[in-house]
């Protein structure tokens, strides 16, 4: 193995310790950061993810509320819950777990969340803020990838980054965040003519496709940094990413494992965003008190 491992568990521990410390400071001022998590239906994977989010809140001292609804919940009822949470002072962040049942318009629900509580960074206001380089919540998975990249000590300025995948939740915001960090960015996707020709030029590769073995050793420039966002299962049922880890680790300079890379960072950045949302409220109440 030539590549150095980028350890998402270790980085998460560090960042979560910082969140816990910031939470303690807020609590001393009478504000407990609060996250509301809404889940609709019984999708087992979604319940596992949501469980991790709620558990992480408790470990860092945040308040969390888990609202579970049957798959038959009416869209109007879900919107009413979001509206109630928008004006609940104990709640600083709202997360509606996706996917939602087909009869509910997920876009409408996300747009109902107050941008000041959009700790998932999925609202159009958050996406627009990212695009224009103005303050707003960055969506958790690509934000976690930026933190993993920064943990290597490599400056992204002037680097050529290739993002594979163009989803609204990962690929597109990832490209914008890398641009914000002054990288030169190429976005590849399912219609890209010659993926390998692009990835071989890359100093940084982020694979976010959802298909295993999308990136193999022959597609990687020696020394490149490889971030694997994929969460797939191999034939033996074992968790694996989009990157052929065994092959690519012999060529890359740095690589994230699956599991233990990007996965824990998504939950960590949710905590970071939630504590930041609470800090904004604390700042606002200080301003009001000073009047
Ligand atoms: N479903 C899978 N990942 C996520 C996520 O990060 N946020 C939400 N809200 N739903 C998801």
Considering the domain architecture, whether residues 168 and 236 belong to the same structural domain is answered as yes
- Among residues 117, 118, 120, 159, the one annotated as catalytic is 120
**Looking at the domain assignment, is residue 6 inside a domain?**
no
Structural domain of 47: 30-114
- Kindly report the length of the chain: 291
Q: Looking at ligand 1, which atom is closest to the CA of residue 140?
A: 6
How many A from CA of 98 to the centre of ligand 1?
5
Considering the domain architecture, whether residues 156 and 226 belong to the same structural domain is answered as yes
**Looking at the domain assignment, is residue 4 inside a domain?**
no
In this structure, the residues whose C-beta lies within 6 A of any atom of ligand 1 are 49, 95-98, 120, 140, 266
DSSP, residue by residue, 109-137: HHHHS-GGG-TT--SHHHHHHHHHT-S-P
Nearest C-alpha neighbor of 175 from the set 229, 221, 212: 229
**Looking at the domain assignment, is residue 131 inside a domain?**
no
Q: pLDDT value at position 287? A: 83
Look at ligand 1, atom 8, and give the residue with the nearest C-alpha: 97
Q: pLDDT value at position 290? A: 86
Beta bridge partners of 184: 160
Catalytic, 53? Answer yes
Q: Which ranges of the chain have pLDDT less than 50? A: none
**Looking at the domain assignment, is residue 122 inside a domain?**
no
Nearest C-alpha neighbor of 82 from the set 112, 115, 121: 112
Considering the domain architecture, whether residues 244 and 166 belong to the same structural domain is answered as yes
CB-CB neighbours of 208 under 10 Å: 25
Q: pLDDT value at position 131? A: 98
Considering the domain architecture, whether residues 245 and 152 belong to the same structural domain is answered as yes
Residue with tokens 């558990």: 55
Considering the domain architecture, whether residues 165 and 250 belong to the same structural domain is answered as yes
Q: pLDDT value at position 286? A: 85
The number of domains in the chain is 2
End of a domain among 78, 98, 114? 114
Q: What's the pLDDT tens digit per position in 140-185?
A: 999 999 999 999 999 999 999 999 999 999 999 999 999 999 999 9
Q: pLDDT value at position 72? A: 98
Considering the domain architecture, whether residues 197 and 147 belong to the same structural domain is answered as yes
End of a domain among 114, 148, 165? 114
**Looking at the domain assignment, is residue 126 inside a domain?**
no
Considering the domain architecture, whether residues 258 and 145 belong to the same structural domain is answered as yes
Task: Give dist(CA 180, CA 157) in Å, integer.
Answer: 9
How many A from CA of 36 to the centre of ligand 1?
13
Domain with residue 235: its CATH number is 3.40.50.720
Considering the domain architecture, whether residues 146 and 105 belong to the same structural domain is answered as no
User: Alpha carbon of 71 to those of 38, 41, 80, 122, 244: distances in Å?
Assistant: 12, 4, 16, 22, 37
Considering the domain architecture, whether residues 209 and 254 belong to the same structural domain is answered as yes
Nearest C-alpha neighbor of 46 from the set 76, 21, 72, 68: 68
**Looking at the domain assignment, is residue 280 inside a domain?**
no
**Looking at the domain assignment, is residue 282 inside a domain?**
no
By percentage, how much of the chain surpasses pLDDT 90?
Answer: 97
Considering the domain architecture, whether residues 183 and 248 belong to the same structural domain is answered as yes
Domain with residue 68: its CATH number is 3.40.50.10860
* Sign of CA pseudo-dihedral 242, 247, 248, 249: positive
**Looking at the domain assignment, is residue 23 inside a domain?**
no
Beta strand ranges found along the chain (DSSP E) = 4-5, 34-40, 63-69, 93-96, 160-164, 184-188, 204-207, 225-228, 232-233, 239-240, 254-255
Considering the domain architecture, whether residues 94 and 154 belong to the same structural domain is answered as no
Q: pLDDT value at position 1? A: 65
Considering the domain architecture, whether residues 186 and 226 belong to the same structural domain is answered as yes
* Sign of CA pseudo-dihedral 50, 15, 26, 114: negative
């Amino acid at each position: 193995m030539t590549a150095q491992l980028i350890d998402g568990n270790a980085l998460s521990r560090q960042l979560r310790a910082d969140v816990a410390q910031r939470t303690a400071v807020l609590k001393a001022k009478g504000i407990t950061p609060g996250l509301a998590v809404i889940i609709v239906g019984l999708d087992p994977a979604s319940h596992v993810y949501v469980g991790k989010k709620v558990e992480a809140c408790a470990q860092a001292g945040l308040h969390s509320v888990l609202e579970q609804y049957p798959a038959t919940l009416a869209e109007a009822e879900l919107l009413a819950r979001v509206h109630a949470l928008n004006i609940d002072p104990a709640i600083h962040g709202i997360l509606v777990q996706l996917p939602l049942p087909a009869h509910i318009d997920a876009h409408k629900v996300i747009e109902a969340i107050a941008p000041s509580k959009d700790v998932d960074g999925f609202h159009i206001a958050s996406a627009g803020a990212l695009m224009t380089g103005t303050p707003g919540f960055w969506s958790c998975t690509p934000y976690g990838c930026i933190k993993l990249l920064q943990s290597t000590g490599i400056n992204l300025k002037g680097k050529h980054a290739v993002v594979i995948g163009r989803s609204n939740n990962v690929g597109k915001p990832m490209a914008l965040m890398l641009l914000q960090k002054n990288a030169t960015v190429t976005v590849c996707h399912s219609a890209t003519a010659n993926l390998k020709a692009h990835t071989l030029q890359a100093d940084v590769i982020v694979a976010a496709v959802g298909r295993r073995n999308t990136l193999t050793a022959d597609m990687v420039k020696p020394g490149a940094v490889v971030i694997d966002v994929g969460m797939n299962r191999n034939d033996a049922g074992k968790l694996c990413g989009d990157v052929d880890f065994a092959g690519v680790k012999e060529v890359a300079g740095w690589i994230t494992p699956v599991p233990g890379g990007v996965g824990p960072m998504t939950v960590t950045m949710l905590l970071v965003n939630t504590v930041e949302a609470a800090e904004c409220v604390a700042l606002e109440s200080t301003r009001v008190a000073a009047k």
